[in-house]
Amino acid sequence: MSTIRGGVEQSRERLVALVLLLQRAWQYGALTQEEILRELTIDEYPAAAKGPRKIRAYEGTESTVRQKFERDKARIRELGFAIETIPNDDGSVGYKINPSSGYAPPIYFTREEERVVTMALRFCGFGKSGAFSVFNDIAASDGGLEASNYYTPVLRALNLRRALTFDYLSAVNKSRTVEPLVIDVFNGASYLVARVQETREIKGYRFTRMTSMPEVRPETFEASDEDVDVARAWRPEFTRSPRPFDVVVATNEDYAHLLVRQYPEAIATAKKNGSVEVGMTFESPRAALRFVLDGADRVRLQSPKSLKNELADWLRGVNRGDVPAPSSLTFDVTPTNDILGQTLQLLHAVYASDDGLRISELSRRYSLSPEHVRLIMDRLVSLEPMAEMMDGTDRFPAHVIKECDDWDDEENDDSLYRADFSDLPEGAEDPSPFMWRDLFELNIALREASRIYTDPAIFSAIEKIERTTSVPVQVETTTNEALLGQVERAIETRSQIKIDYTSGESDEARTRAIEPRELKVLNGHTYVRAYCTSRDAWRTFRVDRMNDVLATSPAPERPSDPVSNWLTQVGEEGDEVVVVMESHIRWLFEPLPGAVWRTLDDGRHAVKFRVGDGRFLDYLMLRAGPGAVVATQTYARAGHDLARQIAAQL
């Protein structure tokens, strides 16, 4: 109990009280810092006392309390809330939060739409930090997409057609002011496509490279249909005048079959020596080089000669260069317990539930102890910041009430928490349970799920989201997953399927008998978790590497999968590796689950992650090429042998 009721909980209550109070101030009048520091009180739980006592939320010297207040404002802004400052006639400054800066307009889903939203989030979720737990009554596991608080102000700016300012890391970290036009998702990575302010230039900005919370500016802008069309056509490989670039590679029959399925416009021709030549067209030489590097030793480049020369130069630079001593590379650990965000997620889940949620349900969804849930929710129920000063208008600032089956044994009762908006002024709308980023996540998950499910409720839910937010979202994927529907049917019917499968490091297809149990999306690819009878163990397979389903039969009962977060297991197990790279290579390493970053004094970037198989690192360093070096001594030669093997075939 002492660990729960310590300084973390006082910080939680202070932050929650402040954010709820400043949202109320939007309706009743801005509050000055002096008023908040003087009047705001929270509960303290002394170790020797059974109950709480009231203390001032901000205590200490003048400089200490003002520093704490500024830190709290910054933490609130980090969740996407815009704290507005209002100058008063006496020279003081008041603060208030526009609830619409964080919360999207309310959406009311039908029962069928709620069902498909739940299903879609399980298929394509954003993990523990995303919207999964608002709708699903099971604990959130790993997420396949990039969760970000930055979605909140960006979607609001798109909705209002207002400019944005944020810091962005490209070659250097600097401030950008842009006019947002589209959010597009390419193979699992989210980009804001925008017009650079006061220019006609359309550029894409990856959310993971934004280094400050985007600020929604007051000025609005107009965009022509032509500007929007250019934004919708933008790609990470975008060039102003794409020119076709033809490539021919030689491979074996199995791998050629896989390439033709993944690239439908490819043309394959069998040769007398038993190999197969595959001709393909790319939009640029750079895109063609990336394709050849992805194929690694499974393809032999035949033409053009210019690409052969570029590939030879590339191979000579694989994992070569100077790096700092590994002992000098320290990484800041990102806080895993966002106490304000966690509390607001619990609150939003209750808002979204018509019948309320019990402690046991919230505990299961958020992987918290029942005691911890009870403490957090009880404080939301009783929280009345500055009630006397506000003449009672904040009697129920969190709009949550508690119901017990056994009030005499309240500490052990599985209490129910539900929303109650009866204290709102007449005619006021109920608060929305969704932040802007929640609706973005729901939209993406539904669009991904629509690739295998044809339920009309999916499309009606998408329509409601986009009609409410005025922000259509694009999802782009280059993978061809022709067998996705058959895999899903095997999951639904609990069947065993026999497949021809080409693994990520092989050029030969092998027959495997698998019993699929769950589908998820990671970095633009769909993966299936299945019991593999060929290996007599649970394994993960990529759907687009399945060549064919040869047979289907009933599946027997199997022992439970021992790995819960199977999708991102690469980020949780294996050897720790540090790679140092130039900034333009960073995009390749950003999708790695569990990656931790820092910027070096010379402008390069260092990333720390885990690998369970050295061959994975060989292929990764091959794709990274010149400008990326492994700093971890054990893997200092990663990719060298593979690069020499490919060079010998040129």
Asked whether residue 528 falls in the same domain as residue 606, the answer is no
Is 495 among the domain residues? Answer: yes
- Same structural domain, 630 and 598: yes
For residue 583, name the pLDDT band (cuts at 50, 70, 90).
confident
CATH number of the domain that residue 627 is part of: 3.30.70
DSSP code at position 378: H
* Structural domain ending residue among the three candidates 52, 67, 99: 99
Encoded tokens for 372: 């911890």
The residue among 552 and 2 whose pLDDT is bigger is 552
Q: Is the pLDDT of residue 51 over 70?
A: no
Q: What is the pLDDT of residues 184-212, one digit of tens each?
A: 988 778 899 999 999 989 999 999 889 89
Structure tokens, 524: 């633009």
Which whole number is the average pLDDT over 502-513?
82
Q: Taking residues 238-259, what's their average pLDDT?
A: 83
Phi and psi (nearest 5°) for 581? -150, 160
- Is 538 contained in some domain? yes
The answer on 607 and 550 residing in a single domain is: no
Residue pLDDT, tens place only, 613-645: 888 899 999 999 999 999 999 999 999 999 999
What distance in Å separates the CA atoms of residue 97 and residue 30, rounded to the nearest whole number? Answer: 9
pLDDT at 7 > cutoff 60: no
pLDDT of residue 390: 52
Query: Edge-to-edge, what's the strand order for the sheet holding 605-611?
Result: 596-599, 605-611, 575-581, 628-630
Q: Are 5 and 50 in contact (CB under 8 A)?
A: no
Q: What's residue 354's pLDDT?
A: 86
- Contact (Cβ atoms closer than 8 angstroms) between residue 589 and residue 629: no
Are 94 and 15 found together in one domain?
Answer: yes
CA distance 148 to 209: 11
Same domain? For 548 and 575 the reply is: no
pLDDT value at residue 133: 83
- Bin 399: left if φ > 0, else alpha if -120 < ψ < 50, else beta: left
In a domain, residue 20? The reply is yes
Q: At what angle do helices 436-449 and 111-123 cross, to 10 degrees?
A: 80
Question: Is the per-residue pLDDT at 575 higher than 50?
Answer: yes
Which CA distances in Å does 590 have to 190, 221, 567?
Answer: 12, 32, 16
What does the pLDDT read at residue 62? 84
350 lies in some domain: no
- pLDDT of residue 162 exceeding 80: yes
For 575, the domain range is 326-333+569-647
d(C-alpha 510, C-alpha 632), whole Å: 34
CA 203 and chain centroid, separation: 21
- 17 lies in the same domain as 57: yes
Task: Flag whether 472 is in a domain.
Answer: no
Distance, in Å, from the CA atom of 38 to the CA atom of 36, rounded to the nearest integer, reads 5
Domain boundary among 511, 531, 554: 554
* Domain identity same for 543 and 583: no
Handedness of CA 571, 573, 574, 576 (dihedral sign): positive
CA 636 centroid distance within chain: 31
- CATH number, residue 531: 2.30.30
Is there a cis peptide before residue 304, judged by omega within 30 degrees of 0?
yes
pLDDT at 593 over 80: no
Q: What is the average pLDDT value for the chain, to the nearest integer? A: 86
Q: Which of 458, 362, 369, 368 is nearest to 418 (CA)?
A: 362
Residue in 619, 188, 97 with CA at minimum distance from that of residue 441: 188
Structural tokens at position 163: 């400019």
- Tell me what pLDDT residue 336 has: 46
| Residue at 504 is within a domain | yes
Per-residue model confidence (pLDDT) at position 388: 58
pLDDT beyond 80 at 220? yes
The whole-number pLDDT of residue 396 equals: 54
Q: Among positive and negative, which fits the CA dihedral 201, 183, 19, 427?
A: positive
Same-domain check for residues 541 and 578: no
- What is the per-residue burial (b if ≥16 Cβ within 10 Å, else e) of 23-32? bbbeeeebbe
Nearest CA-CA partner of 39 in 12, 58, 62: 58
Q: Which of these three, 82, 99, 116, is where a domain ends? A: 99
Query: What is the reported pTM?
Result: 0.79
In this prediction, residue 3 carries a pLDDT of 43
Number of domains present in the structure of the chain: 3
Mark whether 582 and 642 lie in a shared domain.
Answer: yes
Per-residue pLDDT tens over the stretch 299-353: 999 999 999 999 999 999 999 999 998 888 888 755 445 778 888 889 989 998 8
> Residues 363-406: pLDDT tens digits?
988 888 899 899 889 888 877 666 555 554 445 568 889 999 99
Confidence of residue 565 (pLDDT cuts 50, 70, 90): confident
How much is the pLDDT for 471? 83
Flag whether 288 is in a domain. Answer: no
> What is the pLDDT, as a whole number, of residue 631?
95
Q: Which two tokens mark 216?
A: 């929604």
Distances (CA, A) of 277 to 274, 280, 302: 10, 10, 9
Q: Which pLDDT value is given to residue 595? A: 82
pLDDT in tens, 76-119: 998 889 999 988 888 889 999 988 899 988 888 999 999 999 98
Q: Is residue 585 part of a domain?
A: yes
Q: List the beta bridge partners of residue 551.
A: 498
Q: Which residues contact 486 (CB under 8 A, 6 or more apart)?
A: 497, 549
Query: Which segments of 30-86 does DSSP mark as H helices, in order?
Result: 33-39, 62-77
**For residue 173, what pLDDT is reported?**
84
Say whether pLDDT at 1 is over 50.
no
Percentage of the chain modeled with pLDDT above 70: 91
Quick one: pLDDT at residue 386? Answer: 67
Q: Are residues 491 and 535 in the same domain?
A: yes
Residues 626 and 549 in one domain: no
Over residues 18-27, the mean pLDDT reads: 86
Question: Same domain for 578 and 641?
Answer: yes
DSSP letters spanning 166-217: EEEESSSEEEEEEEEEEEEEETTEEEEEEEETTS--EEEEEGGGB-S--EEE
Q: Which residue has the tokens 């009606």?
A: 460
The pLDDT, as a whole number, for residue 2 is 34
